[in-house]
Chains A and B, each alone.
Chain A
């Protein structure tokens, strides 16, 4: 019923709010696309055997889907996270109504599964199970299977909601999905437990009508609903505490609804890079070693420490090249920054976001080159995480010791303006510290274990980002007068 209401309301809302302009056309195209996807899903579920036979006749339709069940669920969590809107706006709207808070929360929780992703899953799995599972197994087994799947899909929705609610409270919980990924990775490394083996296990339990397993799924679902209920309550409490409450998470969902300061500062940083000869030159300079690494990396057979050092350089190159002059780039308008109502935290964060994204892009570009072994990927991932969690913060901290002015339109080559010994110190520290740690740990544990410890240590500053930023800002403000004097001369 709620599902039908949801569809009905969506249609009504779309047409009532529509104006006869481009947005209406986009809406109609979106609707047609969704309808098309739904029809394809129904067809794929209904005639799954034939669909997979066109790909590979040797594939088994039963085991194929149930092999990939957890992958599908993971994809559904991500899709729901990004495709369904957050509750924050709705909560604020409902709070003005004379309705009890618990009722509002219950309504929101009940209506949460009414979304396109859930609809897509059901539209595929119902015809699929009727046509593929039912003929092979007994009706009791089928009922058990479909009930289990329904509970799993509901859990997927509430897991996605759980992440969203956590991010509403603080963006730092973004670390949680990464921890989960690392957890699965560790499981696959240590116990050889992968998504596929878990999927097979789930399918076996459901088909074998394991009642305890079904109860376990129900308990998990109930647990997720309860946690979401408590988190939503916490969010309401925060809204009451601060009427202007707007979480960092809004930025992920809708960049334009986010308190636009970070975007505003980030745009300025991008303009700084693009529009100034010296900064642009640095960007191109950073690309040269990256291209070089890209060419030589496939032939690299050097030892672990050399490789790790290279990976740290690759994943952090773009960040290092800019962050070493972090405040000097702004030397020509630092008086402006220091005398205006400027949110230093968001200003620094915007820079951090830009350079982190650049590092991620470099990581993705280089990844195909080193996908030969899990260990190599783990080393590269560790280097990236280390840069994001420690290296960049160290640069932010040490950058305030650079009081040299930089002429943004100065020549690119043979220009030593802005060079400072602190940069060399920072770079040396950043490359040596993890290598020394891994070297020390190599006496007592394996490489994988050492890397996991490094991963954990890299996560700590990310988890306690607020404190780290506070230290960096205090340091910057402490050096403010010295730097301002330096930038003017």
Chain B
């Protein structure tokens, strides 16, 4: 579904992303872990054509993302607050997304009701602009916005940030129920190793812009990755 060829992105002399080849197939939940500055967000931005690579290309369904807009129809994403229209209320934001994806109101509200456990907001909060919401609710708004159009490809950057423990668990359930046994693809980056190991079918470890490990999620994988981070701390 997503293919990367010879990708390089530098900020000045610093290599942010340098990936020779990478394939993420349909039906995979690909987890990306790494320390701060490893290049995770840069890679996700490159996948969404929000950054221009210095070299190489990213293909979505065999079409370069920089050459076509078609991938936007089946890709949902949430990276950070720049994906939120903060002067709208959550309802208006969802309606706006629904409209640009051609969803009917009934369809939209049915979809929203399926997220009611995750995004349960009081009437008072619902009337607030997104910028007035807490970080947790902003995060939830962005995630629901990404999921609304039932995308074939979902790209989430640090989705567990700011979420309370219950919401983190519910989010995992939503992701698993939406994507299990389907041809959909999730690309998710997180610092939370437990959640990544809970839901991902494949886990990649990124450091200094390079993917140094990309393996199926087995019982040993997490132990390896934890060892890696332990070594990084020198303990």
What is A's interface to B at a CB cutoff of 8 Å?
260-261, 264, 268, 271-272, 275-276, 332-336, 338-343, 408-409, 481, 484-485, 487-488
Contact = CB atoms under 8 A, between A and B. Distances in A.
B65 to A, nearest CB: 10
Contacts of A338: 48-50
A260 B100 contact: no
A335 B50 contact: yes
A275 B86 CA distance: 10
B157 to A, nearest CB: 11
19 contacts: A260-B99, A264-B96, A268-B88, A271-B87, A333-B83, A333-B85, A335-B45, A335-B80, A335-B82, A335-B83, A338-B49, A339-B75, A340-B101, A341-B69, A343-B100, A408-B87, A481-B51, A484-B50, A485-B51
Interface string B94-115: 0011011100000000000000
Given A264-B100, A335-B82, A339-B77, A272 B87 contact: yes
B129 interface: yes
Contact of A268 (B77, B82, B85, B131): B85
A260 B79 CA distance: 28
Contacts of B43: none
Nearest to B45: A335
B82 A332 contact: yes
Contacts of A272: 87
Q: Chain B interface: which size bin?
A: 20 to 34
Interface in B129-162: 129, 131, 149
B84 A333 contact: yes
Nearest to B85: A333
Given A264-B99, A341-B72, A336 B82 contact: yes
B197 to A, nearest CB: 28
Nearest to B82: A335
Nearest to B129: A275
B82 A340 contact: no
Contacts of B84: 333, 336
B73 A341 contact: yes
Contacts of A484: 50-51
A339 B99 contact: no
In the A-B complex, the 4 residue pairs with the closest CB atoms: A335-B82, A481-B52, A275-B87, A341-B72
A339 B100 contact: no
Given A272-B87, A335-B50, A338-B49, A488 B99 contact: no
A332 B86 CA distance: 8
Interface string B181-211: 0000000000000000000000000000000
Contacts of B97: 340
A485 B10 CA distance: 13
